[in-house]
Amino acid sequence: MKKNHNILIVGAGKIGSKRAVVARQSSPLSKIYIFDINKKAAENLASLVNGIQVKSLNQGLKNKDIDITVVSAVNKDTKNISLAALKNNKHVLCEKPMGINDKEALELSKAAEKYKKILKCGFNHRYHPAVQEAYKLCKKNKIGKILFIRAIYGHGGRKGYDKEWRAKKALSGGGELLDQGSHLLDLCHWFLGFEKIKKIYSINKPMFWDMEVEDNAFALYETISGKVVQIHASWTQWKNLFKLEIYGTKGSLEINGLGGSYGTETLKISLKIRLGKPPVTTKKSFKAKDNSWKYEWIDFVNALETKRLPLSNHKESLEVMKTISAAYNQK
Which tens digit of pLDDT belongs to each residue from 268-297? 999 999 898 999 999 999 998 999 999 999
Indicate if the pLDDT at residue 26 is higher than 80: yes
The phi-psi region of residue 270 (left if phi > 0; otherwise alpha if psi is between -120 and 50; otherwise beta) is beta
CB neighbours of 170 closer than 8 A, spacing ≥ 6? 76
Which value, to the nearest 10 degrees, does the dihedral of the CA atoms of residues 6, 12, 18, 22 take? 20
Average confidence (pLDDT) over 307-326: 98
pLDDT band at 263 (very low <50, low <70, confident <90, very high): very high
| Predicted structure pTM score | 0.97
pLDDT band at 330 (very low <50, low <70, confident <90, very high): confident
| pLDDT score at 1 | 58
Alpha-carbon gap, residue 235 to 156, rounded angstroms:
5
Neighbours of 168 (CB within 10 A): 16
Average confidence (pLDDT) over 223-233: 99
Average confidence (pLDDT) over 25-42: 96
Alpha-carbon gap, residue 73 to 236, rounded angstroms:
24
pLDDT, one tens digit per residue, over 96-138 is 999 999 999 999 999 999 999 999 999 999 999 999 999 999 9
- In contact, 142 and 270? CB cutoff 8 Å: no
Indicate if the pLDDT at residue 44 is higher than 80: yes
- In contact, 194 and 316? CB cutoff 8 Å: yes
- Phi/psi at 81 (nearest 5 deg)? -70, -45
CATH C-level class of 129-289: alpha beta
Average confidence (pLDDT) over 52-63: 98
Nearest Cα to Cα of residue 86 among 73, 104, 67: 67
| pLDDT score at 2 | 64
CA distances from 325 to 62, 172, 185, 189, 329 (A): 33, 14, 12, 15, 6
Q: Could you tell me the residue ranges of all domains in the chain? A: 7-124+293-311, 129-289
Alpha-carbon gap, residue 48 to 178, rounded angstroms:
30
pLDDT band at 27 (very low <50, low <70, confident <90, very high): confident
pLDDT band at 4 (very low <50, low <70, confident <90, very high): confident
CB neighbours of 258 closer than 8 A, spacing ≥ 6? 125, 128, 242, 265, 290
Nearest Cα to Cα of residue 312 among 185, 227, 219: 185
Edge-to-edge order in the sheet of strand 265-271: 197-205, 216-223, 228-234, 146-154, 241-248, 251-256, 265-271, 280-286
Indicate if the pLDDT at residue 307 is higher than 80: yes
CB neighbours of 19 closer than 8 A, spacing ≥ 6? 9, 70, 72, 93, 122, 293, 297
| pLDDT score at 53 | 98
For all residues of the chain together, what is the average pLDDT? 97
| pLDDT score at 3 | 76
Average confidence (pLDDT) over 298-302: 97
| pLDDT score at 201 | 98
The residues with which 8 forms a beta bridge, in sequence order, are 33, 69
Average confidence (pLDDT) over 35-51: 98
Average confidence (pLDDT) over 154-179: 97
Q: Is 76 exposed, middle or buried (0-12, 13-18, 19+ CB in 10 A)?
A: middle
CATH of domain 7-124+293-311: 3.40.50.720
